A and B are shown apart, each in its own frame.
Chain A
């Protein structure tokens, strides 16, 4: 402002300096330079103070950067802009803060998991191998997971699908409202509670032993509400005109649902079921209570303890030797890969089969 007035001092007619249409702004290079300085200062402080964690260096640098930007912007551009900058920095920091652990999680799993992951690992069980020795594999766990998840899907998918059809196509009145409410309630059941329920009925009251099937019942309880929710959403996307056209041609309602509504939404429904499968594949707690975990191959899910991938990870971690840690990481990698592939394929199907006339 002072510069402006001194520049225009000859125009005597103006008592006040003209209102600047353009605010004074920081040059574009300020922020990158500040960021560099902050990172440098963070590393410097970290080195001098002898902090051994690089995460702490990063935090110090971030704090310095935010403070410096705020002060500088307040001085040059005013408080409102400074607050805006502060918010921008905070949002970026939040993002970077979250990326660090999540990226580290994936990186560690891949880096440590590939150590023992090979064909032998995938095709052999633990057998009688002592846990502290290297060797052994996850074949029995893969078999167990596939069978348990398969059985759970066989129970939960039809039930969930039919429930969703009831809610969308038939549901009016009190029963539908109650079912909707309890689907929501069921979504929030902790996995260990589902496990405890099957434990109390199947094992404590009916007196059966641990088996893959007991585990899949608990998994089915966890899977059902997810299937209902996603299928419901998909059925609601089917344009009503399709139903009305079919009904107007004299097609019975049940055939309309089977031949018109379901084929239209089949892509979305498949996606929902696959995402639900991906979710229950990673569940450990009910499997721990109901399947117990065997070291050898048990192909029969209805009799005797089995193994499953997440439980295998947990038990190998419990053993606490270097060899078992390696196996735990490798199994975790197999598990993540399985879940991710399911997710990607499911989302691929969703995109490929998306209803053309949705919403």
Chain B
């Protein structure tokens, strides 16, 4: 389909001077250039292998020194002669905050993407897409600062209200502290991943074949019916993979969580009250006081985070690859 399979680019026709030597001359310049470029590809693989190998090595050191179960312990005490630490709280906090973030961000992001691709006035649409792309570039520490100094004070009112009406569930009970809780982290993460999920979804929505939409319109469909019948089915896998990319970001986000959350090592059903922790946040806040063994322990938790994000991203790639086949067949 492109030049990479074209026979012309495979062997360059040798110049007259070299033609007499043989049909396939490899010039030294070509050999060096191929070596360099292949070498950097290999270097990339080596780096990935090194990341996996060294993280695993240090993690094994840490986990073998752990005096309690690494996966179920509700404590992080990696110093002294009896180190006891476990990732249960971190896993809980990471999953819960990311799930909250996804639950808020994905519907809103799909809404914005639809707004830009199908609802906004034409003149507004492309600057809006531009602005969304720019917002995706705002550094996470700025979100963190804004979250800690602006969002947190503004959320206590909402949390009090939630407590009044939904407090009986246990999940939404709130005891009037600063709103530096997992739920706030979820909201902040949702705001952070909005631009990226939006911009990927918008790309997909814009690729919907015009004919599909026009066919639906010609049958008398309303705009919403056009979207439901032609845009959303076409874009579904794209939206899923966009959300997975956003999820990958939310899982690994460090600074925004570290500034907003007030951490504690217990699993509490109440998500509005301060407490809990995430993998990345725990590494950032425990790092400065950790000795070498403590750093190994943090590396072990980092390895778990690494594996989780790999799985999520891998799933996203699989879905994208499937979609490529699908759209290739239909267009």
Contacts and interface: CB of A to CB of B under 8 A. Distances in A.
Interface of A: 51-53, 55-56, 80-81, 83-84, 86-88, 90-95, 97-98, 101-102, 104-105, 108-109, 158-160, 162-163, 165-172, 175-176, 178-179, 182-194, 196-197, 199-201, 204-205, 221, 224-225, 228, 236, 240, 243-244, 247-248, 250-257, 275, 278-279, 281-285, 288-289, 310, 313-314, 317, 325, 328-329, 332, 335-336, 339-340, 343-344, 347
B284 A192 contact: yes
Max chain B Cβ within 10 angstroms of own Cβ: one of A191, A200, A244: A200
A217 to B, nearest CB: 10
A190 B306 contact: yes
A264 to B, nearest CB: 13
A94 B111 contact: yes
Given A51-B157, A196-B298, A162 B37 contact: yes
A200 B43 contact: no
A190 B280 contact: yes
Given A332-B141, A340-B134, A191 B158 contact: no
B149 interface: yes
Given A228-B44, A243-B3, A285-B254, A84 B225 contact: yes
Interface of B: 2-4, 6, 8-9, 12-16, 27, 29-30, 32-34, 36-45, 47-48, 50-51, 54-55, 57-58, 107-112, 114-115, 118-120, 130, 133-135, 137-146, 148-151, 154, 157-158, 161, 191, 194-195, 198, 222-225, 227, 245, 248, 251-255, 258-259, 280, 283-284, 287, 292, 295-296, 298-299, 302-303, 305-306, 309-310, 312-314, 317
Nearest to B143: A105
A56 B158 contact: yes
A284 B143 CA distance: 12
21 contacts: A55-B154, A87-B224, A94-B110, A95-B112, A98-B191, A101-B151, A162-B36, A162-B39, A182-B45, A188-B309, A190-B305, A190-B309, A194-B51, A197-B50, A200-B55, A244-B8, A284-B139, A314-B255, A317-B144, A317-B259, A343-B137
Given A84-B222, A190-B306, A284-B139, 7 more contacts: A162-B37, A196-B283, A201-B50, A240-B3, A252-B12, A253-B9, A314-B259
A97 B108 contact: yes
Given A83-B224, A95-B111, A244-B6, A188 B37 contact: no
Contacts of B148: 317
B217 to A, nearest CB: 12
Nearest to A167: B41
B55 A252 contact: no
A292 to B, nearest CB: 8
Contacts of B55: 193, 196-197, 200
